[in-house]
Structure formats: C-alpha cells, structure tokens
Structure 1
Amino acid sequence: MKRAGLMACLATALFATACASGSSGASPSSEPARAVPAESASPAAGGTARASADLGTDEILHSPNITPIANVPLEAPFDGNRSWNSDLAFQGDYAFAGNYDGFTVHDIADPAHPKVVTRVLCPGGQNDVSVSGDLLFVSVDDPRTDETCQSGRSDPSNASSWEGIRIFDISDKANPKYISAVRTECGSHTHAIAPGPDADTLYLYVSAAGPDPGSTTCPAPHDNISIVEVPVRDPEAAKVVAKPALFKDRQGDEEYGGCHDITVYPAKKLAAAACYGDGYLLDIADPVGPKVLRTVTDRENFSLWHSATFNNAGTKVVFGDELGGGMVATCDSSGHDTKGANAVYEITADRELVRHGYFKIPRPQGASENCVAHNGALIPVPGKDIMVQGWYQGGVSVWDFTDSDHPVEIAFFERGPLRPGLQIGGSWSAYYYNGHIYSSDITKGLDVLRIDDPRTDPAKSVTLKEFNAQTQYAYGD
C-alpha cells in the first residue's frame, strides 16, 4: 500500500486515536492457532473447481499442492477497524508481523501450531518490520506527535511532527523494548537492511514517497532516499548519514518522487529500486554511496512501481506494479493481464535491463475484491526462479519465472470476499521460510501453508537463521 498523496489510499486517516501504552505482551500460547480446513481445493493451479469470483465470504480455495495448516487471528489490542497486518520478518523460530497498531511476535517452532508470544502496541502508519540479531526495525510512514509508542497522529504541517524508523531490542522475545528512533525525510514507508563494513554496523535504506503539500516533514523536492547508520552495539546512536538524490532525472509525475521499495542483494553488490514512476538498478558497492546503473520505465503497463525481487543468480529482477495502491479490484475479468502485474527483466552482461514476460494471477477475482501484485520473495530452489507472492484478496500465488518469457503459476491459496463493511484485506505479503509459506493477511492474521510439489521440494533442505525479504541472500551453488 502506498502513502496518501499519490492517490487516495486512506493513509492520512488511519489513526484517529493515540495509543494507550507502549508494549502489550500476551503470554506465550495465549492465542492458539486455528486449524484451517482444506476446503474447495481446485484440481490444478490455474484450473479451479469453483471460479474465484464466485467464492462465498471467506471461503477457502487452493491448489492441491498447497495445504493450509494454521491461522493465527488478530486479537486485542489489534482488533480495531484499522488494525491491518503489514509485512513479515523471520528469525530462528520466530515470525514478526507488522501491524498498523504495532507488531506481533509469533513462535513458529511448530508451524502447524504457531503461538503468539506478544503483541506490542505502538501505532504508526504501515509499521513494516525487519530484524537483525537483537534489533527490530519498524517503518513509520505517518506523522506522529512524537517518536514514542504513546504518540498520536499529527498534522503534517506541524514542525514537531515525527515519522521515520523505530528501533526495538528483541533479545527477550516476550518483552521487546523500545530503544530509540530516527526521523527520516517523508517518513519510512519501507526499509531494507544493508550490511556495513563490519559486523558492528548496519545501514537501513529508507524508502518514502513525497513531497506532501504543506508538510514540514516531507518538503519538496523529494528525489532521494535516506540511509540510516545503526551501530549494532549502540543502536541509540543510529542516525541518518546520507540522503543520496538518486532520482533527479526521472519519474512520471514531476510533483511526486521518492521510492516505494528497495531490495538489496549484498552478495552481488546490487540493489533494485521500485520508485513509483520507474525501476532502478543500483550499484551498492559503497553502501552509503549507491549509484544508479540503469533506469527502466513502462508507461503503458505500469502505474505504481512497488517492489523488486532478484533471482538467485542476480541475472533477473522482477518488478511489481501496485496499480490502484492496493485499494482497487484490478484482478477482475477485464483481460488486462499486464496491469497490476509483475514484469520480468533480464540483466545483461553490461547491466542493461531488458523486459521479457509479465505475470498476473490467472484467476479472476470479484468486483469487490482489492487485488494487485504485492510483497513476495524467492523460494530457494537451486537452478530455478520460483517465488511466492501476496496479492491482497487475490491470495497467495507461487509462480515460476525460470522461462523469463513465459512465467506460470504453479500453486495458490485464497479466500472469498470479505464480510460486508470491510474494504481492504487479503495477503499483504507471503514468504517461504524454512519449509513453509507464511502469509500476513491484513484482516485475518497469520496464515501458515505447506507446499508439496517436486518443483519446490528442494527448498526444504535450506534452513535460514534470519529472513528479511528486502535483503536477499545467495543460496545453492
């Protein structure tokens, strides 16, 4: 979902009330996972027994190679009308789920029976999360009265408004502790962790849109990202150390700039940036001095460049388009297969970006179901290019882009439309982590899916200690 200002996306009206406390910890196993029935299974991916658009409210449909095994619903204090789940991060036996009201720590040691360790109440628009060691970083893209978890929404014209990155100590998973915060220009819609020159330094590439008319926190022009340096041993000293103006010569709307998502691939010294009007390939050999290698545009098919994913070899990058900002039903039967979709770009030897095929889920959704390409990442299958991705109410899709010109869906999971009164829902993000797929459903909580398919089974041998989708790692040969 994008920041209000580019289109009407409700981001400026998400929080009318200040939070009551900084951390609300539910005791371990206080919220048991719900068993999920394998209902309405389709005979094959892409060929459903029932049409997706005809599903009943919350009715489950999935391909036979995916089994939903658990769901952890949202509970108090995340039970408000805007307590929307956002992005996920993973560490060891834990999954961290962002929420517009804070974040949840899940124990996933037994994926079929995940447990809530704690829910931390700390409102702030988006609240995308990432983890590294004992630190958790949270993106706040919403002007607040101050940086604390007790803050309320603020008028962006107020010079004292704050938005940016919050930092928590998660050494005790049951009792995360707020450490500090860093104000960043135009806030932080998302961020990516880039390693520093040694283990004691991390950098956060902060993405945010802007400028916002009348804002003191997001003035014009906004053609840069913010780079935050985090001393791991002294995170309270984290600060902005660079604001490279990477996007001076670009973008469709001259009055709007910044970047939505940046994915870094440290092993290749590359980053891919999806920046509203264009896509970028960046050289990050110097992590505080990234350089633009290539820029690509697609005015005909792309409306909102939203996210980017490299293949493992670093020879391709998938850019996704969030047409309508996540609020619109773009997956209907209109036949616009390249709108609100993914595009596969191959990276040539001289680092040109050459567009090949498009991918969009092949299951038309109903006219009331917000659906568009959203957050996903690779499934670590050596020698293949396969990723899993959230599509809001289009559900979770697993698709293979090994053949760049002819990507194809190989598995899926989805629900029918929301109950009346809800306007946005579905899978915000879906990732493969240590043998299972985890989906952050905006209104339903955490879904756990098992995929059994010879095309993805090799990934079951890969075990990770940490996983942040916007920091890619290399696997296999």
Structure 2
Amino acid sequence: MRRLPLRTSLSFVGLGAVLVTGVGLAALNSSATADPGAGACTPEQYAALLAAGDNFALGCDLPGSLPAGGAAAPGLSEDDIDKSDNIELVAHVPLAGAFAEEGAYGTDMAFQGRYLYDGNYNGFQVFDIKKPAQPRRVAQVVCPGGQGDISIHENVLVLSVDSSRSDDSCASTAQPATEKSSWEGLRIFDISRPAKPRYVASVETACGSHTNTLAPTRNGKQVFVYVSSYSPSADFPDCQPPHDFISVVKVPVRKPARARLASTPVLFPDGGNPGGPVPLLTSSKTSGCHDITAYPAKDLAAGACMGDGILLDISKRARPKVVERVTDDVNFAFWHSATFNNSGTKVLFTDELGGGSLPTCNPALGTTRGADGIYDIEGGSLEFKSYYKIPRVQTMTENCVAHNGSLIPVRGKDIMVQAWYQGGFSVFDFTDSTDPEEIAWFDRGPISATSPELGGAWSVYWYNGHIYSSDITRGLEVFAIDDARVNAAKKVRMGTFNAQSQPSYRG
C-alpha cells in the first residue's frame, strides 16, 4: 500500500458532485468501472488522498467534480459553533513542530495515569493531563508511518505502521510496496519514562498494520496484539490476496524487545463478503479487517472487517475464533470499528461510508447510511436492533461519517461519545437498543464553505471525567460535560485506557 506525499487541501469531489446534483445512489452504481483516480481527482489529488489514510482515495473512483461554490446542503457557516448547553470546550493544544507539517494529521489516542498518548501520521506525542483544562505537551516522537494507531499496556506502547517504508526505523522513507525489501507492521516503544519513549522493537506483518488491538493474558505478563490490515495486491510481495487473516503478535511485557509474530489465524475461510459494485458506497469486499475491539475480561472481541461484522472468542489469545458473522448489504458500506457495552451484551458497529473523506451527513443519504448499527448479543448471535446517526445536517464541503468513540462509564446505562469528523462529536444513550437518543453534542462549521477540506474529530474518547478529541488538523481538544445522566461517570477512574481494548468497570 504505497503512501505518497500529502497536500493540505484534499478533495472529495466525487460524491459531492453526485449529491449536489441530486443524483441517487442507483446512479453511483454505474460508476463501478471507473479507474482509481480517473474520474473525480487529478493525479496529484489522488496521490494526496492515497497517502491520507483510511480509504480516502477511493472517493476518486467516482465521476464528476464539485461545482464552484458547491456547499449545497444547509449547515453552519465557517467558524460557527453549534453545541448542546451541557458541553464546554475547556482546552485546546494546536499541532506543533513536525506534527504541524502538511499531512501530519492527529489520529488515535491512548491513556495511562496522568498521560495522554496521541497518534499522528508523523509518529506520536505525549501530553501531561493531570490538569485536564491545562494539558501540557511533554514529548514528540517523530517516527512517520501512516495514521499511527496507538495502544498501551503497562510500560509498552504499540504503534501501527501502515505506510510502506524503506526500513523499520524512525528515519525510514516511503518506498513502494511492490519492492520486497519494503517494511510495514508494528513499532514497539518502552514508555517507562513517558517524557522519553524508547523504541525497542519492530515486527513486520502482512499488509502492514492499519490498526492494532491489545488482548493481555489474564496474568498480564504477555500481551497479544491483533493486527488489522487489508487491501492486498498480487503486485505486493508482502501483501498477497486473499488476505483472509489477521496477524497476532506476542509481546512479553517485561521484555518487549522480544516481540514476535505468534500466529496468522484465518477469519474468513470462505472469502468473506464478495462486495458490491462501488467501493465504499455499496458493501465492501472483505480482504482483511479494518479494526478489532477486544473485551479481554469477557474473552470476547468484535471485528469490523470491511464487508463483515464478526464476534470472536478470544479465550485462547493467540487463536481467536469467529463465532458469529453478520452483513448488511443494504445500509453498511465499510464496517469500520466496534464498541461493546459494559455488560458485553451488545456491539455497536460503525459504517465508514465513503471512506472518511466524503460528505455523507445530509438528507440525500438519510439516517441509516454512514451510521452506527446497534446489535444485541442473544444466544451467541448478533441481532440487529437499530441505526444511530447524528441528526445535524452538514454542508457538502464537510467530510462527515461515523468514526472512533468510546463508552462513558455510567452504571446501568449504555452511553457513548463518538467522533464524526467535521460533524464534531455526539454523546448518545443506546440503553434501549431500538431507540438510541442523543444527549449532547459539539459541532463546528466547515473548514471551508466552498472547498472540500479534510478535517474534524478523528477520535473522541472519555477518560477519567473529561472528553478528549484528537482533531485531524486542530490538535488536542478537551471538553467538560455537565449532565445528570453522565455526571456519576466522573467518579470512575481508570489507570490505562485503550478504546479498542475495553476495560470493564463496575456497573
């Protein structure tokens, strides 16, 4: 998966044109034969989107271009803010140094004690959040390698590399995946001194590591890393089709330099979902997983695997086993991520319709596409109950779709905070699986009213009483919420928090 230099202004003109002109999804199906980059984007735009991560470049498969002044859907104006009365922004730390360069986007987060670790396309940075309203940057680790998905266990930090590199070092350069010597996979750091992380090991994995998920053993002495990746090609020596498996890496917690590949369990022996005619707009062909969320205390994991949602038994950490599989070929285009409720009786899956770069929060696409799908686990089966999508209309220049979020630990309730890119973030209650209800939100106007720009909240998580947002271009933001429905959660304290390795709290 080759990654090329980025430009600040990215175009998602393909779907924009379709929606502006009012053409329905049936017309999108006719674009299935379009060559990548040949329809909506210039070669330069396509290269930038290809480098930008997730599935941004596939927006170029669509024909047409966004007309001048193409913000056709109603919404906020530039610099406007719409929020619920119970939400307040209390801190903002802009991207700085190498992390403010073009294409150095803010991505995923992990937490431990008083520290927040924030992933970035150029590596990761560390913040002291002892005073949440006054976060203080204490380290920047420049180590480019794609979107920088990040997880923590004790003194071990795991960083995903989904950018084909010349070698495994932090000084590596981009190199085509068609070259056998190219490297991508996991980088492992010792964070026993949070302000001075130390790079101690690397593990190469097939097709790299788009995301990673930790599943510690019961005694905590070993941690298994579930590596999700996808998009194989016969031209890529280290990423061959059918790529129907995940990579499992074993990391000895006390000696992380001895990390090694432990297994490559096949999850889709039948090939998975064959996919629909238009990538990211109709059901995706399954060729790997995008993300897995583990619930180690319950020996469960849920996989969001392009065209499939799966439930896994991880009682044998190195050999996860699929026990349930669901598809949604009507409303889900790309199964992106998953969240359990605290009791482990529900899974909320997200659909990243359009790959994260397109404007999908508008009446043309309705309330069930680019949304969350809520499933109850009944007798070991995943039973669909409802969809949830933010109710606010976004403009045609705003990339907006369901993205990364986490539970808020409210006893007896299922409440979640979730990022929606330029749709901001939403706090919603899905205790009644059939009738989810929004209870708080924060939303800015578009970065540009006339030009599509990539931006907004990538990850929004709850940690020890506050809401933290890693914004693609704005950096770190911290929010306070004052609402009787969630205030009790402020008493819950977690020592370590990874959204994709869910802890259990007393509920």
TM-score, normalized by the shorter chain, greater than 0.5: yes
Residues in 2 aligned to 1:319 and 1:165: alpha-carbon distance in whole angstroms: 25
State the match for 1:379 in structure 2.
408
SS in structure 2 of the partner of residue 378 of structure 1: strand
Residues in 1 aligned to 2:436 and 2:95: alpha-carbon distance in whole angstroms: 34
Task: Check if 1:119 corresponds to 2:140.
Answer: yes
Task: Check if 1:77 corresponds to 2:77.
Answer: no
Please give the per-residue CA displacement for 1:182-239, whole angstroms capped at 9, x wherever unaligned.
0011000111100125322110001011213411121112000000000112111101
In the TM superposition, residue 387 of structure 1 has moved relative to its aligned partner by 0.3
In the TM superposition, residue 56 of structure 1 has moved relative to its aligned partner by 2.8
Contact 2:332 2:353 (C-alpha < 8 Å) held by counterparts:
yes
Match for 1:409: what amino acid?
Answer: E
Question: In structure 2, which of residues 273, 276, 283 is the aligned counterpart of residue 251 of structure 1?
Answer: 273
**More strand by percentage:** 1
Contact 2:3 2:51 (C-alpha < 8 Å) held by counterparts:
no
State the match for 2:237 in structure 1.
216
Please give the per-residue CA displacement for 1:129-181, whole angstroms capped at 9, x wherever unaligned.
11111111101111000001000101101101100000111111221111111
Residues in 1 aligned to 2:36 and 2:436: alpha-carbon distance in whole angstroms: 30
Task: Check if 1:142 corresponds to 2:159.
Answer: no
Alignment of 1:18-167 (within 5 A): 53-167=74-188
- Structure 2 unaligned blocks of 5 or more: 5-34, 38-45, 54-72, 276-283
Question: In structure 1, which of residues 431, 435, 441 is the aligned counterpart of residue 465 of structure 2?
Answer: 435
Residues in 2 aligned to 1:439 and 1:197: alpha-carbon distance in whole angstroms: 31
Residues in 2 aligned to 1:429 and 1:282: alpha-carbon distance in whole angstroms: 24
State the match for 1:31 in structure 2.
none
SS in structure 2 of the partner of residue 210 of structure 1: coil
State the match for 1:318 in structure 2.
348
Question: In structure 2, which of residues 248, 251, 254 is the aligned counterpart of residue 227 of structure 1?
Answer: 248
In the TM superposition, residue 311 of structure 1 has moved relative to its aligned partner by 0.6
Please give the per-residue CA displacement for 1:65-104, whole angstroms capped at 9, x wherever unaligned.
1011111100111122201111000000111110001111
Question: In structure 1, which of residues 288, 294, 306 is the aligned counterpart of residue 336 of structure 2?
Answer: 306
Task: Check if 1:399 corresponds to 2:413.
Answer: no
- Structure 1 unaligned blocks of 5 or more: 16-51
State the match for 1:45 in structure 2.
none
In the TM superposition, residue 11 of structure 1 has moved relative to its aligned partner by 5.9
Alignment of 1:12-23 (within 5 A): 12-14=50-52
Task: Check if 1:370 corresponds to 2:370.
Answer: no
SS in structure 1 of the partner of residue 490 of structure 2: helix
State the match for 1:359 in structure 2.
388
Compute the RMSD of aligned alpha carbons.
Answer: 2.1
Contact 1:6 1:256 (C-alpha < 8 Å) held by counterparts:
no
Match for 2:162: what amino acid?
Answer: D
Match for 1:351: what amino acid?
Answer: G
Change in 2 beyond 3 A, CA 1:288/1:10: farther
TM-score w.r.t. the length of structure 2 is: 0.83
Residues in 2 aligned to 1:81 and 1:421: alpha-carbon distance in whole angstroms: 17
| Structure 1 consecutive aligned stretches of length 4 or more whose deviation exceeds 6 Å | 2-9
SS in structure 1 of the partner of residue 100 of structure 2: coil
Contact 1:273 1:307 (C-alpha < 8 Å) held by counterparts:
yes
Contact 1:3 1:11 (C-alpha < 8 Å) held by counterparts:
no
State the match for 1:416 in structure 2.
445
Please give the per-residue CA displacement for 1:407-437, whole angstroms capped at 9, x wherever unaligned.
0111001211114777210010100000000
SS in structure 2 of the partner of residue 166 of structure 1: strand
TM-score w.r.t. the length of structure 1 is: 0.89
State the match for 2:304 in structure 1.
274
SS in structure 1 of the partner of residue 311 of structure 2: strand
Q: Aligned residue pairs: how many?
A: 439
Residues in 1 aligned to 2:353 and 2:107: alpha-carbon distance in whole angstroms: 18
Please give the per-residue CA displacement for 1:292-342, whole angstroms capped at 9, x wherever unaligned.
111000000000000000111111100100001100000023251110000
SS in structure 2 of the partner of residue 437 of structure 1: strand
Residues in 1 aligned to 2:452 and 2:123: alpha-carbon distance in whole angstroms: 20
Match for 1:313: what amino acid?
Answer: S
Residues in 1 aligned to 2:36 and 2:208: alpha-carbon distance in whole angstroms: 15
Match for 1:440: what amino acid?
Answer: S
Residues in 1 aligned to 2:3 and 2:369: alpha-carbon distance in whole angstroms: 20
SS in structure 1 of the partner of residue 488 of structure 2: helix
SS in structure 1 of the partner of residue 355 of structure 2: helix
Residues in 2 aligned to 1:323 and 1:342: alpha-carbon distance in whole angstroms: 11
Change in 2 beyond 3 A, CA 1:311/1:197: closer
Q: Alignment identity in percent?
A: 51
SS in structure 2 of the partner of residue 142 of structure 1: coil
SS in structure 2 of the partner of residue 460 of structure 1: helix
Task: Check if 1:189 corresponds to 2:210.
Answer: yes
SS in structure 2 of the partner of residue 346 of structure 1: strand
SS in structure 1 of the partner of residue 494 of structure 2: coil
Match for 1:252: what amino acid?
Answer: P
